[in-house]
Structure 1
């Protein structure tokens, strides 16, 4: 067999490889190869969509490579002026934004993505940076903003939103803080809401908001052309009526995701009336955790009778709805899982996945209904009542229970979520049964594992090679005590563990790495 040489690859294949890499990495590496590689890196198709970021990471987290990327000044000085007229889409972060935007004019630029930026820094740039302001005013029609602070957005978040809306007269698509699921940052609008501005061009808006009061704010008529609204609402508080909402009939696509941790009591008094007014919807997506008092589970008949029957143009409805029922001295017979399934017959074309906690009583119970194929990239609160299924679109999974998990549950998860990339395990109770020595859990795409609130049984299950196959695990969050315990203070053979591909280790600031630390984590980029 002839030896493989990357220089023998055709231009088309090399361009495909380049497109998978960060633009800075491409420009940094090709200078050491040959003239052909250099010219390919400047290809028009290659530079139309440029990723000029100095951060790396998995989809849910960014990590700084270095405080200042030494290649960035050279690229800004020598390369960007040669390709500036070809750039149509540009992604920058806090470190690269100013140097890149000031390096040249970008006459074809219409889409700008800013990631991992501090809210105060962004506000200052929007207020004072002439180059950025000029681009936003004259050119940008597609804008995506990711703010990196972990605490709730201050009043500055609201000010940034309004400042952008006022600056970007041509903006049609705006994603404000809804790029990464892990960013639990939400914008709250003032109680006294200003109607001093409106935006007649905005067609699509994605953002995370604090309360349902803020949803009313967005639908009060200030965006008359808005046809797509995708919102995550983090708090269950909201108005008792729909006074102030003036814009429902223009919406064609509406996606509403509530808090995944705190169930909302506003489903019947607010969400149902809101949806029943969206008569022109073509696509509807609901991901809700609902608490009901003195009632029954949400089922197919209720969904249809309460709002779907009025949506004559609806082409696609996907949902994941969990109902928590708490009845007090009311004789209401809670539906069985068979009754839930029958309620969808004749009203829905798609299959429906449902389950009811087996310990449900006459007064309390939990029911979950999901449309299939499952349309969300995340699936939360899997517990011992999960009976399996096929969820090929899910990339992020959260497992949580106060009762110890069974090994069979992890088998169902491995089989049901074949493309899972991010897994959170929250359970401090011991596993009910030990893994058979002959079986191996396989997660071929898992890159991110958070087990810092997990019992040692689950830590051993995933980190020992004899129990789990994790060929792409690159990010691990774990407490330092169990890490030292399972490795016997870093004396057990390092090849027994799924550590070889780890690039990021979150283990706590007080952790002091031993002398042989690099033996266990040979390609680790950072730990904290």
Structure 2
């Protein structure tokens, strides 16, 4: 039998394209740039050049994809100047962002991701005369800011936000949060709240510390905003009076997630939603204390769905805790599930647990497929299922968790996740 030796250069363009698509595009560019004219034509396709992501997202933070300065220097001196007109999106980490932005002019760049950024780094970058008067001012419409989660000091982001809305005057999409799923670095602001605003911003995704910031964001400073995805650390009534009556007719998509337990569902969450008369998509994720009845399908229909005539999609993950005594008539899982029989939006899963030692009841209702990144207060009655987006889970029960339970957990959460027990 004769053996033939086929080299990479012998393969047709179609096969090479299939192979290269399975590789990281930065590695493809670094390995084959300048190999020959044919390879240059293939790897300069928009598949490999339109978005370049230099950081790599780990579970805790974004890290440098290439540790060698030699690799970065070659990108800056040889590769980026060659493909500069094809680049539309750059994801950069703090150490190398300045070198990459200075390596070439990028006439078609419209999106920028800045990861692990520090406050001083951001200020220097946003006040750079060349960048701020050209790329930042005229081209960038999509911006991602990710805070360095390793810093211990509290972040006062007022100045950064002021620079963002002063420099990026055509900004339509802003994502502002830390890179780590479980990290609690959030936007903090001095009092009084800063006066930044934008007449062009359409989409805002942000992690903040308090409900006050949410109210300030919706006080009219972003008049064209149609999408707000906000994660709160806590949900308490504001310490001072904040504009909270303005209707929000342009807001069509709203997601509110609160990390800590609250008792302000009726007082804060519902009045905020009622300001959004034209809302088409709504997402809610929170844990609340209730006095005498769990939040169930009847509650959601009466307080939310019947109030929102334009709503087309409703996803939620709601846990309600209630103190119990021996005289109470306690609803079962079947009773709670029955309240969702005529809900048209999606499949609903209900879980009900009673902890006699704690004198406490827990009702967990959520839409499925489950789209949230966190799954809180899993008990031994966890029904299973597949939760591909979840990265953080917590356990809560007065009874011990057995081996079979963790097997079920590992099957339901197939991707790497962080778990803790309350």
TM over 0.5: yes
Question: 1:205, CA displacement in angstroms?
Answer: 0.2
Cα distance, 1:335 vs. partner? 2.5
Q: Which residue, out of 333, 336, 342, partners 1:337?
A: 333
Identify which of structures 1 and 2 has the higher relative contact order when contacts are C-alpha pairs closer than 8 Å and 6+ apart.
Answer: 2
> Taking structure 1 as reference, are residues 133 and 114 closer, same or farther at Cα in structure 2, changes over 3 Å only?
farther
Deviation, 1:11, is: 3.0
Contact kept in structure 1, 2:60 and 2:181, CA below 8 Å: yes
TM-score (structure 1 length as normaliser)? 0.72
> Aligned partners of 2:239, 2:198: CA distance in 1, in Å?
27
Classify the secondary structure of the residue corresponding to 1:405: coil
Residue 119 of structure 1: aligned partner: 119
The alpha-carbon deviation at position 316 of structure 1 amounts to 0.6
| Map 1:251-270 → 2, pairs under 5 A | 251-259=251-259, 262-270=260-268
Superposition RMSD on alpha carbons, in Å? 3.0
User: Structure 1 residues 394, 193: closer, same or farther in 2, change over 3 A?
Assistant: closer
Q: 1:65 to 1:226 in 2, by over 3 A?
A: closer
Aligned to 1:215, the other structure's residue is in SS state: helix
In structure 2, the partner of 1:302 is: 299
Q: How does 1:458-477 map to 2 (within 5 A)?
A: none
- The answer to whether the 8 Å contact 2:226/2:252 transfers is yes
User: What CA distance in whole angstroms lies between the structure 2 residues aligned with 1:391 and 1:144?
Assistant: 29
User: Equivalences for 1:24-103 in 2 at 5 Å?
Assistant: 24-30=26-32, 35-51=37-53, 53=54, 55-58=55-58, 60-64=60-64, 68-103=68-103
Pairs within 5 Å for 1:232-381: 232-239=231-238, 243-245=242-244, 246-259=246-259, 262-292=260-290, 294-326=291-323, 333-359=329-355, 364-381=360-377
Aligned to 2:212, the other structure's residue is in SS state helix
Q: How does 1:393-412 map to 2 (within 5 A)?
A: 393-401=388-396, 403-412=399-408
Does the CA-based 8 Å contact 2:247-2:275 persist in structure 1?
no
Residue segments in structure 2 that go unaligned for 5+ positions in a row: none
Give the gaps of 5 or more residues in structure 1. 429-528
Distance 1:331 1:119, change over 3 A: farther
Mapping 1:85-164, distance limit 5 Å: 85-128=85-128, 130-132=130-132, 134-150=134-150, 154-164=154-164
Other-structure match for 2:206: 207
Q: Partner of 2:13 in structure 1?
A: 11
Deviations 1:33-58 (A, max 9, x none): 6553344222344212222x2x4353
TM-score between the two structures when normalised by the length of structure 2: 0.88
SS of equivalent to 2:70:
coil
Structure 1: how far apart are the matches of 2:6 and 2:322?
63
Deviations 1:411-432 (Å, cap 9, x if unpaired)? 3224433xx222224359xxxx
